[in-house]
Amino acid sequence: MEILDANVAAEVADKLLEIQAIRLQPEKPFTWASGWKSPIYCDNRLSLSFPKVRTMIKEQLVRSIQHYFPNVEAIAGVATAGIPQGALLANDLDLPFIYVRSKAKGHGMENMIEGKVVPGQKVVVVEDLVSTGGSSLKATQDLLDAGFDVLGMVAIFSYGFDVAAQNFEKAGVKLICLSHYEAMLPMAVQRKYITDDVLESLSEWRKAPAIWKQ
């Protein structure tokens, strides 16, 4: 995983904290579907309700694609949160847009991919959030199975798990994120959302989320 720019990473993290798209509760952790205890909950869909933040994120994602994937021919959003972000990017880049479902429709054409499928078309995948990378990489595999040439993926935020980096490397998918957990922590301290004395615990969570607070 790479980030576009350290200054952008800090700015994006700061704005996500400001609009409460990122919530931190180290003393009252969230419980994920996996059973993991987490001090953080990230819902980047909230950024869509804040025009200035939405525009800033869109512009930096466009910049990421133009820099890392200049040969892109189409944009693919990952359902559901990657759909609006992807549509915004495709509109700015004047490119075709498609999206990938988590599972095929149970009726009609039973599509997994919505939009025009063009085998060989060079596509960049758009995600809002990357945790372990499982669902994100499933979407890229669905695109590959349909005949697309997947250049890579861009995302707004990543938790920065080692397992995610390993999964993307194993799959051979380049991931570019605007911001990540490590860039967010100092901004949270600066905004006084957390104190210095809980930083160590929050850093330990990212290293071993499965056993944190157990």
Annotated binding site: 101, 105, 107, 127-135
CA distance 28 to 32: 13
Helix axes of 51-68 and 6-18: crossing angle, nearest 10 degrees? 150
Binding site residue list for orotate? 131
Binding site residue list for 5-phospho-alpha-D-ribose 1-diphosphate? 101, 105, 107, 127-135
Phi then psi for 71, rounded to 5 degrees? -90, 10
Instruction: Take residue 144 and report the two structure tokens written for it.
Output: 């590959």
CB 100 within 8 A of CB 78: yes
Instruction: Take residue 46 and report the two structure tokens written for it.
Output: 């909230």
